Amino acid sequence: MSELKACLFDLDGVIVDTAQFHYLAWRELANGLGFDLTVAQNEQLKGVSRVESLEIILKIGAVELDAETKNRLAATKNERYLELCQKMSSEDVLPGVQVFLDSLIQEGIKIGLGSASKNARLILAQIGMTRYFATIVDGNRITKGKPDPQTFLMGAEDLKVKPINCIVFEDAIAGIKAAKAGGMIAVGVGEPAGLKAAGADMVIPGFQDIDATTVKHLF
Ligand code: BG6
Ligand code: MG
């Protein structure tokens, strides 16, 4: 029988609410190009790399740009995103996250990070959460983004556990698909409809009401 040995966490929208800043920065960029980006359209961008996100946005707005302009826009978006993140501190860690991570440590369950963001280390340091993660797989390490399972498979390998012994926590449809493609249990964090449809084994609104025992029952 398989058992829980490791939990892999997405960062943006799971550990900390940076998802709102990604959305705001992209929306400003879209507005600057003359169109809007709705909350529903933004769901397509969650878990997806900066470059891919820009491509999706340009498609939404039916805008065609040369490579140089795209690079400049992606850099501008990142500057704005980091500016919005500047005021964050440990108080911005999402409710219940720290208590949940402490409960995993107490049970001897390993903890890793699997994020598409190239800013993951910076954000973790800023919110004082780096120490929790025995491995960090971020946008600088991966060659294939979610929904490809590479991010989470790399995390499992780093932690020396089999995918079948891992749970992934994700707020993105692409992330849930990545976890399932990697043969892991996937817990969605957020609104159930899209996450369930993407294959989530369980969806939670947040971490307030769960502990290590709750998730062990998923095996
Ligand atoms: C993911 C976010 O975690 O990271 C995406 O959900 C974001 O919205 C992606 O585009 C890449 O982030 P960054 O910080 O490298 O631009
Ligand atoms: Mg996310």
Amino acid at 53: S
Give pLDDT, residue 85.
96
Establish if 1 belongs to a structural domain.
no
Mean pLDDT computed over 150-179: 98
Tell me, yes or no, whether 206 and 124 share the same domain: yes
120 has pLDDT over 80 = yes
Q: How many CB atoms are located within 10 Å of the residue 209 CB?
A: 10
**Cα–Cα dist 114/96, whole Å:** 19
Pocket of ligand 1 (CB under 6 A): 11-12, 22, 45-50, 53, 78, 115-119, 139, 172
Please indicate, yes or no, whether residues 58 and 155 belong to a single structural domain of this protein. Answer: no
**Do 117 and 128 have their domain in common?**
yes
Nearest Cα to 207, choosing from 114, 50, 130, 93?
A: 93
User: How many A from CA of 1 to the centre of ligand 2?
Assistant: 30
In ligand 1, the atom with minimum distance to the C-alpha of 13 is 6
Residues with Cβ–ion distance below 5 A, ligand 2:
10, 12-13, 171-172
The verdict on residue 102 lying in a domain is yes
Ligand nearest to the CA of 142: 1
For residue 78, the ligand 1 atom closest to its alpha carbon is 16
SS3 per-residue string spanning 120-169: HHHHHHHCCCHHHCCEEECCCCCCCCCCCCHHHHHHHHHCCCCHHHEEEE
Domains contained in the chain, number: 2
- Residue 92 backbone dihedrals phi, psi, to 5 degrees: -90, 0
Last residue of a domain, one of 50, 85, 120: 85
Calculate mean pLDDT across residues 115-142.
Answer: 98
Q: What CATH code is carried by the domain that includes residue 129?
A: 3.40.50.1000
Atom 1 in ligand 1: which residue has the minimum CA distance?
47
Q: Which domain holds residue 212?
A: 6-16+90-216
| Residue ending a domain, choose from 85, 110, 137 | 85
The per-residue pLDDT for 1 is 60
Residues 80 and 98 both lie in one domain: no
Is pTM beyond 0.85? Reply is yes
